[in-house]
Chain A
């Protein structure tokens, strides 16, 4: 069973379009994250939710909107896509609170977004 799964794995779309990426974790973790990996492989946090509450919202254009319907799911919607949005987007989860907290993040396989 995949612990953190994201769909789709690949997205190719035109500038100006809207797209969504979905993420689900079956680890029972209380916190989920979106990271962006750019063309130089640098990883930067975008958002994080703890038990459906937004706890991290880095300096990201408001064309990006995360949604967490429950603590096992975190989706990312991007409006009016731009060329610079091309990147790999990683979902991750961790257990932040309680006796089961471990510290490490568990990552999905990534969603490669290409904007033409």
Chain B
């Protein structure tokens, strides 16, 4: 079965410092991987995805993620965190069973950026 895991419930960083939110995946075959952000009382917003190609993927709001096949990881990164980046972040993998487009989400990581 496919799955993603986000090992940290919460990540705390100081504004201006680099941030990393971790995600590891378990799939058979080539994974389609995604990151989403959820602000309080809002829906999920798409940040970036890896389908194929360059292992470093750039997305919205200055975020990027690195696909690492040997470590089965897809960590989300940003060189310089902003207080406004504080939110709940979800990693997801596309279900390869059937052509439903269904995404399987990790449990989420709360990012707290302090001034």
Contacts and interface: CB of A to CB of B under 8 A. Distances in A.
A43 B105 contact: yes
B42 A110 contact: yes
A105 B43 contact: no
Contact of B34 (A50, A56, A103): A103
Interface string A91-116: 01011110001011111111010000
Interface residues of A, number: 28
Interface in A40-56: 40-43, 45, 48, 50, 55-56
Interface stretch (B16-24, B66-74, B78-86, B93-101): B93-101
Contacts of B88: 41
Interface residues of B, number: 25
Given A43-B90, A106-B46, A33 B102 contact: yes
Contacts, number: 63
Contacts of B34: 103-104
Nearest to B94: A103
A94 B44 CA distance: 13
Nearest to B46: A104
A105 B103 contact: yes
Of all A-B residue pairs in the complex, the 10 with the closest CB atoms, nearest first, are: A96-B101, A107-B43, A43-B105, A107-B44, A109-B43, A94-B101, A104-B46, A41-B108, A55-B100, A31-B101
Interface of B: 32, 34, 36, 38, 41-46, 49, 51, 88, 90, 94, 98-105, 107-108
Given A55-B100, A97-B99, 5 more contacts: A33-B101, A45-B102, A96-B99, A96-B100, A103-B51
